[in-house]
Amino acid sequence: METRAENPPNGRAAGDAASAKKLGKRMEKVGHTAEQVWDRTRDSFSDFGDALDVKGRVDRHPFGTVAAAIGIGYVLGGGLFTPLTARIVRLGVRIGVRLAVLPLLKQEMAELVGEIEGEEDGKARATSKRTRTRGDEP
Amino acid sequence: MEMTEKIEETARELGARVRPQIEEAKRRFTSMSDSATTYIKANPGKCLVGAIAVGFLIGKIASRRG
């Protein structure tokens, strides 16, 4: 004996089977699409990694890369527009000026002093020559 | 003259005593730097993520104070 629930009237069983098939197909499609999305994301991430060449950078400049990472974290943490940043920048500028500009200034001053001394020597020689020639005159 | 000689001798002794310690500190610093470099090269991902986290924390603290 078949019960009503097992074999409902009006071809409902066939309809259910068809909808289940449809659902299965849809699920398969969704799974396939998700797989594609995952593959693409992974590929783009690996491309990004290759472009950045993190491993190579770390091998070449280990401390520099770590310092850069700390800087990125600092900016992400919202520390960019703070008094601490201003202080660090001021210190950096001061050190930079000391390292880069002062030797240049020293060199310029040395050249200037050399030129002035040269001019003075030239003048002194010229005056001594004049006095000598005047003294030699009969 | 004796005073200057004494000062010179004391300075020399102090230099002789301190020089090995400075050399030792230099050697330790170099070895620490080498081991840190090796660790960073061996675990770049860990180190970079940790460094970003440390920077983030410093930035957060600085922004709270500022």
Does residue A82 contact residue B63 with C-beta atoms inside 8 Å? yes
* Tens of pLDDT, residues A36-55: 999 999 898 888 778 878 88
Query: What is the token pair recorded at A49?
Result: 């990694």
Cβ within 8 Å, pair A79-B59: yes
Amino acid at A122: G
Write down how long chain B is: 66
Is the full-model pTM beyond 0.90? no
The pLDDT of residue A118: 85
The pLDDT of residue A1: 46
The pLDDT of residue A103: 87
CA distance B4 to chain A (A): 36
Cβ within 8 Å, pair A83-B65: yes
Q: Please, what's the b/e burial string for A65-88 (b: 16 or more CB within 10 A of its CB; e: otherwise)?
A: bbebbbbbbbeebebeebebbeee
d(CA B30, CA B36): 10
- ipTM rounded to 2 decimals: 0.76
Which of B44, B57, B66 shows the shortest C-beta gap to A84? B66
Which of B51, B54, B63 shows the shortest C-beta gap to A78? B63
User: Hey, of B32, B47, B48, B64, which one would you mutate to test binding to chain A, going by the most A CBs within 10 A of its CB?
Assistant: B48
Give the start-to-end residue ranges of the domains of chain B. 2-65
Query: What is the token pair recorded at A66?
Result: 């770590």
Which of B51, B56, B65 shows the shortest C-beta gap to A66? B51
Per-residue pLDDT of chain A (138 residues; tens, 9 = 90+): 444 445 555 556 677 888 899 999 999 999 999 999 999 998 988 887 788 788 899 999 999 999 999 999 999 999 999 999 999 999 999 999 889 888 888 889 999 998 888 888 887 777 776 666 655 555
Contacts of B43 in chain A (CB under 8 A): none
Q: Smallest Cα–Cα separation from A74: which of B61, B46, B47, B44?
A: B61
Cβ within 8 Å, pair A58-B47: yes
Scanning every residue of chain A, which has its alpha carbon at the shortest distance from the alpha carbon of B33?
Answer: A63
Cβ within 8 Å, pair A78-B53: no
